[in-house]
Amino acid sequence: MATTLVDPFTIEIIKNSLVAIGDEMFYALQRTSKSTIIYETLDYGVAITDADGRLVAQGNGVPLFIGTLDAAVNAVRDKFGVSGQLRPGDIVVTNDPYGGGGTHLSDVSLIMPIYHEGELVAFVGNKAHWTELGGKDPGSWTTDSTEVYQEGLQFPNVKLFNQGEPDEALLDLIAANVRLPDMTLGDLWAGVAALRVGERRFLDLCDKYTRDTVLVAIDSLLDYGEEMARQELGRLPKGTFEAEDMIDDDGIGNGPFPVRVRVTISDEEFVADFTGSHPQVPGPINNTRTGLASGVRAVFKAVTNPAIPANGGAFRPVRAICPDGTVFTAQRPAPVSTYWETMLYATDLIWKALAPHVPERLPAGHMLSVCGTVLAGPNPDTGELFLLVEPLVGGWGAGHDKDGENGQFCVGDGETYNIPIEITETRYGVIVDQYAFHTEDGGAGEFRGGKGVVLDYRAVGDGTYLTGTFGRHKYKPWGMNGGHEGSPNFIKVIRRDGSEEGPFGKVARLRLEKGDVARLVTATGGGYGDPRRRPRGRVLADIRDGYINVEQANRDYGVDVDATTVAPGIVQEPST
């Protein structure tokens, strides 16, 4: 590496330019995608690594892609780079869950090497949730698969482009194996567009500041990330912290599964050891090693300084330990299509272990689950298959000085946007009857857990199928310091004749007929502190706002309110 002396100001500019390149790639992918899960939900990430595969910058999307893209780049380097098989303009596609930065098959990574004047200088990559990738169920991920072969098309780290030219055979193969080829190939092209924008901008940067200067700046950026992370590490409490929890079930009748962590923090290292967690399970909730690394990285950033640049340097002190073959580190051919639910448990376990010691950065437990659903069926106007794939917002836990946030996506999502109801109803065969906070019991505290929501989808035509995976259905969000635990996530079906089915934590391909309602309800977050310490005025205000009801005020908060003396709210409570 050149030892050019680069002034700090130039480094600052290059650093910000790299972040801006990430933003631009991110934007390009969003603007050109044909899937709502990409252009509205933003379920994707973009990254730049250096030639050695070290993460330099990652574009906003979802935080739990934070361990995946550099791993994917390294898999590409191992397979093609070492043997000298990479060329300018090559693009490699991979979604291998068990190695190479994969999570589940739906998250597809595209990786492109960047050459400046013939020298490999960097990689750009993106990983996006492609809505349809074949497999046994529409939308590809499901809650009752038993091996990965049921979960979609596998891309075992293969070249999609050779020196700028697409492999038409591979494109045809993809088109033939997915249910919505136009949408899937649209997502593919969106990813390619983002890579090319990134390549162009990175080369501009090299031309402008010289390649050596850019590389020096990247080195210094990584060192800066590490230095900042180490300083923050120094401020964390030292010692060993433990937590355990239970995962509800695996979707096909097994469970619950105990999981545990032992976090050891020293001046040098942040080690999360998941030894002792349950072995991999028959249903598709299994997480993989890449997902585990991401889950640990995300919470490490949360307890240190969220503003530290998310680069490889910042993660040098972080280590995850776990034997192979656990529910966190499943091996082929274990089904993994809802891996994220268990990845989030890895994050949540560390969170739960550290929250009492870092209360200014970690509130009580939140709904945790992505609460992902797939609605699939014929569009009532066109008869074409529609696919609605989306996460759902819910309640966050209360903190030591504030109520929990109402209606936010779980921490596994990030710059993730809910799909507007007006778009949902236009594109998919459903009517939304309500999208509102509920007053299920749970989350009481001196500081109250944030509110979960109830979302009702009413089927417009016959033969609409619902698949959903709502974790923390049996084991609810945890409270802190005397605060109550939150309410559960659940799914219910109300048939047109008024009969009810559920509540469920997980469903697969539940058939809805015209007029049936799928009711999705997310958790209220855990409370913080004894609810009886909550000032009466705030309890009365909560009643007026309809965040809690009179019964809860009396029972949980010990505030004696006569239902008849409370001015009726402007609207009724939503039904759950």
Partner 1 sequence: MHLELPSKVRPTFSVLSYHPREPARGYHVVKRYRLGRDSCLRVASDVGGTFTDLVYYDERSGRFGAAKADTTPPDFEHGVLDTIHKAKLDPSSIEYFAHGSTVVINALTERKGVKTGLVTTRGFRDVLEIARGNRPDLFNFYFTKPKPFVPRHLRAEVSERIDFKGNTLVPLNLGELVPIVEAFRAEGVEAIAVCFLHSYANPGHEQQAAQEIKRIWPDVAVVASYEITREWREYERTNTTVLSAYIHPIANSYLTSLEQELRAEGTRGQLYIMQSNGGVATMETAKHNPITMVESGPVSGVLGAIALGQLIGEPNIIALDIGGTTAKCSLVDRLQPRVTTEYRIEWSRTNPGYPITTPVIDIVEIGNGGGSIAWIDSAGSLHVGPQSAGAVPGPAAYGRGGTEPTTTDANLITGRIDPEYFLGGEISPDMDNVRKAFGSLAARLDSQIDDVARGVIRIANANMVNALKLVSLNRGHDPREFTLVAFGGGGSMHAAALAAELNIPRVIVPVNPAVFSAWGMLLTDLRRGYIRTRVTRLDSAAPDDVAAPFAELEDAATREFAADGIDGDRLVLQRFADMRYKGQEHTVKVILPTGTIDAHALSDGVDRFHQAHEREYTYRLSSPIELVNYHLVGFGLVPKPELAKLERTGRQAEAAMRGRRSVDFDTYGVHTSAIYERGLLEPGMDIAGPAIVEEPAATIVLLPMQHATVDEYGNLHIELQ
Residues 119-158 binding partner 1 (CB under 8 A) are none
Q: Is 175 exposed, middle or buried (0-12, 13-18, 19+ CB in 10 A)?
A: middle
Q: What strands lie across the sheet with 318-321, from one edge to the other?
A: 239-247, 257-265, 270-273, 318-321
Residue ranges in 221-250 that form contacts with partner 1 under rule CB under 8 A: none
Confirm or reject binding of residue 189 to partner 1 (CB under 8 A): yes
CB nearer to partner 1: give 94 or 416: 416
Amino acid at 379: N
CB nearer to partner 1: give 400 or 509: 400
d(CA 4, CA 218): 13
Stretch that binds partner 1, among 7-15, 70-78, 322-330, 477-485 (CB under 8 A): 7-15
CB nearer to partner 1: give 415 or 530: 415
Residue ranges in 497-556 that form contacts with partner 1 under rule CB under 8 A: 544-547
CB nearer to partner 1: give 188 or 491: 188
CB nearer to partner 1: give 255 or 483: 483
d(CA 353, CA 242): 5
Stretch that binds partner 1, among 11-19, 76-84, 499-507, 527-535 (CB under 8 A): 11-19
Q: Which of 570, 562, 464 is nearest to 517 (CA)?
A: 464
Smallest distance from partner 1 to CB 254, Å: 30
Q: Which of 34, 31, 36 is nearest to 46 (CA)?
A: 31
CB nearer to partner 1: give 321 or 423: 423
Task: Name beta bridge partners: 338.
Answer: none
d(CA 389, CA 301): 28
CB nearer to partner 1: give 490 or 547: 547
- Tokens representing 282? 């028959």
Q: What strands lie across the sheet with 372-378, from one edge to the other?
A: 385-390, 372-378, 464-469, 506-512
For partner 1, what does the binding mask look like between residues 441 and 480, x meaning CB under 8 A? Answer: ------------x--x------------------------
Confirm or reject binding of residue 167 to partner 1 (CB under 8 A): no
Smallest distance from partner 1 to CB 19, Å: 7
d(CA 418, CA 36): 10
Residue ranges in 302-321 that form contacts with partner 1 under rule CB under 8 A: 302, 306-307, 310
CB nearer to partner 1: give 73 or 350: 350
Task: Name beta bridge partners: 245.
Answer: 259
Of 11, 26, 37, 39, the residue at the interface with partner 1 (CB under 8 A) is 39
Of 4, 533, 569, 573, the residue at the interface with partner 1 (CB under 8 A) is 569
Would you give the distance in Å from CA 160 to the centre of its chain? 26
For 356, other C-beta atoms within 10 Å of its C-beta total 13
Smallest distance from partner 1 to CB 168, Å: 13
CB nearer to partner 1: give 336 or 388: 388
Smallest distance from partner 1 to CB 392, Å: 9
Q: How many residues bind partner 1 (CB under 8 A)?
A: 85
d(CA 320, CA 337): 22
* CA distances (Å), origin 31, targets 66, 390, 567: 22, 18, 48
For 122, other C-beta atoms within 10 Å of its C-beta total 29
CB nearer to partner 1: give 38 or 215: 38
Smallest distance from partner 1 to CB 409, Å: 5
Task: Name beta bridge partners: 387.
Answer: 376
For partner 1, what does the binding mask look like between residues 275 and 304, x meaning CB under 8 A? Answer: -----------------------xx-xx--
Of 90, 107, 132, 405, the residue at the interface with partner 1 (CB under 8 A) is 405
Of 11, 33, 152, 448, the residue at the interface with partner 1 (CB under 8 A) is 33
d(CA 458, CA 463): 12
**Is there a contact between 271 and 321 (Cβ–Cβ < 8 Å)?**
yes
- Buried (b) or exposed (e) across 372-384, using 16+ Cβ within 10 A? bbbbbbbebeeee
Residue ranges in 364-393 that form contacts with partner 1 under rule CB under 8 A: 393
Residue ranges in 407-436 that form contacts with partner 1 under rule CB under 8 A: 407-409, 411, 413-418, 420-423, 425-426, 431-436
Confirm or reject binding of residue 352 to partner 1 (CB under 8 A): no
Residue located via tokens 């090693």: 289
Residue located via tokens 């230095």: 227
